[in-house]
Structure 1
């Protein structure tokens, strides 16, 4: 029984070591806020590859692709820009 538990643990750890990591997720947009997230190809943030706009009414518009390199901005609804 203990051997089986050890074997399962070793297999699980090995599988997690070879699985690629998912892109980091941007913050959640707070209620009653408008949020903009821009995604970039690498850490230099020189090439934008995607975006996500979250409006005050809850609608979301996205384009391109998400990556682990992003900027996030958030403003309260009704605030002057």
Structure 2
């Protein structure tokens, strides 16, 4: 009985480690800031695959996809 419980716990722990993770989320843009988040296909930042721009007037412009490889630009309005 104890062996089965230990085996089940080991399988559950392994399953949790093997779960895929979601791409990193960009940090929210602060009030009174103009923010541009650029998403890249790889860690070398060679190919842009998407952009999210939040303007000072609240306009939101988004195109392309997201990934874990981001570059964030923030500027006060």
Q: Which range, TM-score by smaller chain?
A: 0.7 to 0.9
Instruction: Show structure 2 runs of 5+ residues with no match.
Output: 1-5
1:74 aligns with 2:62: no
- Determine the C-alpha separation between the residues in 2 that align with 1:28 and 1:38: 13
Distance 1:42 1:33 in 2: 27
1:9-28 correspondence to structure 2 within 5 Å: 13-28=13-28
1:34-49 alignment, distance < 5 Å: 34-49=34-49
Instruction: Supply the RMSD in Å over aligned alpha carbons.
Output: 2.2
Q: Count residues in correspondence.
A: 75
Alpha-carbon distance between aligned partners in 1 of 2:25 and 2:54, rounded to the nearest angstrom: 15
Question: Which whole-Å CA distance do the structure 2 matches of 1:13 and 1:59 have between them?
Answer: 44
Q: 1:59 offset after TM fit, Å?
A: 2.2
**Mind listing any 5+ residue stretches in structure 1 that lack a counterpart?**
1-5
Moved over 2 A (4+): 6-16
* TM-score relative to the length of structure 1: 0.75
Q: Structure 1, residues 35-72: CA drift from partner, whole Å, max 9, x if none?
A: 00110000010000000000112221111101000100
